[in-house]
Amino acid sequence: MKRLGILGGTFDPIHLGHTLPAKVVAQHLSLDEILFIPTSIPPHKASPRVSAAHRASMVQLACTEEPLFNSDERELHREGYSYTVDTLKALVQEYPQTQLYFIIGLDSLLTFTTWHQYHDILSLCHLVVNTRPNYQLTNLNLATQNLLKHHKVDDIASLATTRTGKIFILPNDLPDYKQGLDLNISSSEIRQRISSQQPCDHLLSESVCAFINKNKLYR
């Protein structure tokens, strides 16, 4: 069965803090492909700063630099909020012989039980959680504690025992993984750096950086 990773976000802009860890996730879990899906109107975040077309172009550029990466613009063409559960339902229909791995950050895990139809999300995929250096799962709310109690697994082999429903927290000591995490950057910080004319070349792929400069984005 094919293994498909899914990484959603506003990607405003997409940066190395997205792509470097995603590449390591793909290698560690033996994924065949990762789809980067830019969100149109995110339910839990402020609206993006630049147009959907610009964000989609930046994602496409970032994906051309890694053979395992592909972009998927379905949420940009959907009216209303971009709910993960709707995207996953569509992907299950399109890829019936594929196991889906939905990749999120630790911050998203801590709010996952507030997501729209989160129980249905886990019926459609496995959840893979990117962490941060020296993270600790402490002071979790009761809903998140119960979620991990029933769904968390600690080894990759457990993900193969069932098609959906598991939560796997990626070890943060994997080779090359720490490099992406140590950037400790966010898209909002990059936008601020660009606005104040600070260098961002070390945080973005060369092609994305060139696109931002050419189109005078985030000025």
**Using an 8 Å Cβ cutoff, are 12 and 182 in contact?**
no
Predicted structure pTM score: 0.93
Assigned token pair, 167 = 């939560």
pLDDT at 181: 54
Q: Which has more confidence, 2 or 186?
A: 2
DSSP H or E stretch at residue 109: helix 106-109
pLDDT, averaged across the chain? 90
Question: What residues form DSSP beta bridges with 35?
Answer: 6, 70
Domains in the chain, please, with CATH?
Answer: 2-182 (3.40.50.620)
Please give the pLDDT value at position 95. Answer: 94
- Residue 195: what pLDDT? 93
According to the model, what pLDDT value does residue 80 have? 82
For residue 180, pLDDT beyond 60: no
Over residues 123-142, the pLDDT tens digits come to: 999 999 988 666 667 778 99
H/E stretch holding 36 reads strand 33-38
Please give the pLDDT value at position 33. 98
> For residue 51, what are its two tokens?
């147009």
d(CA 60, CA 57): 5
In angstroms, the CA 45 to CA 105 distance is 14
Strands laid side by side in the 126-130 sheet: 69-71, 33-38, 2-9, 98-105, 126-130, 167-169, 152-153
